[in-house]
Amino acid sequence: MTPLVHAELLKLRTLRSTAWALLGLLGIVAVTVLATLSDAGSPGFRSPASLREPLLAVGYLTALTIALLAATATAGEFRHHTISQRYLASPGRVRVLAVKLGTYGLVAIVVTAVVVGLTIAIEAPMLAGKDLTLGLGGSELARLAGGVLVTAGLLTALGAIVGMATRNPTTAVIAIFGLLLGEKIAGGLLGDLGHFLPFTLVECVLGLGGATPWGLAALLLATATLVAAITTARVLVPRDVT
């Protein structure tokens, strides 16, 4: 299984989309820091809770970016027919799927931790100069880190699953943004059921809103990811790749 992990990491290092994604994340950090510092101290934007919201948004955008990267990278193997070589080298297709989900999920956790940590490292001393604080004590820091990292790992795994299911990078991106847009449109029409849609659960895990407790939301999101992975392994992975 280790060679499969190395192969996935090598693919990520050599894809141009990876470099663009990283540049995009740096841009997100820069815009978030500038926006936060320019508005910090204004009415309604002084409390530690309100100042932490941009951090959570950075975590959300980072996780979504890596999820899109995982979806396009996975689907691209089918588009360029390199998946046939992967399956010939490792005939156990379910194992290939498991390695993809685990590798992309771990990469997402590491990258998200670095991006959010960088944002905190820049913002915290500058906010201190305005006599403001993010209020990241022990429990608050653990809550923020837990929500951001769980979201990154699970959302990216779902992105890889979408890539395996659609087998086309463009279709994978449309599917992810279509689901996100569809939730925003239909969520209010579904009543209480709307609280259990995937992206709504992501917001609950992060602490960006929603009525579901974050622990329950994380459990439901993990369950949805597991169900999607099992369904993909049993129904979609065995399909002919040609």
Which residues of the chain are modeled with pLDDT < 50? none
Tell me the three-class secondary structure of 109-152, residue by residue: HHHHHHHHHHHHHHHHHHHHCCCCCCCCCHHHHHHHHHHHHHHH
- pLDDT at residue 103, rounded to an integer: 94
- pLDDT at residue 39, rounded to an integer: 81
- Contact status, residue 152 vs residue 109, Cβ threshold 8 Å: yes
- pLDDT at residue 37, rounded to an integer: 78
- Contact status, residue 55 vs residue 116, Cβ threshold 8 Å: yes
- 74 Cβ contact partners less than 8 Å away, ≥ 6 residues apart: 100, 104, 159, 160, 163, 164, 172
Cα–Cα distances in Å, from 45 out to 38, 91, 119, 143, 203? Answer: 11, 55, 17, 20, 20
User: What is the distance, to the nearest Å, from the Cα of residue 49 to the centroid of all Cα atoms in its chain?
Assistant: 22
**In 187-213, which residue ranges form alpha helices assigned H by DSSP?**
198-206
- Measured from the Cβ of residue 20, the count of other Cβ atoms closer than 10 Å reads 12
**pTM greater than 0.75:** yes
The token duo for 184 is 């925003």
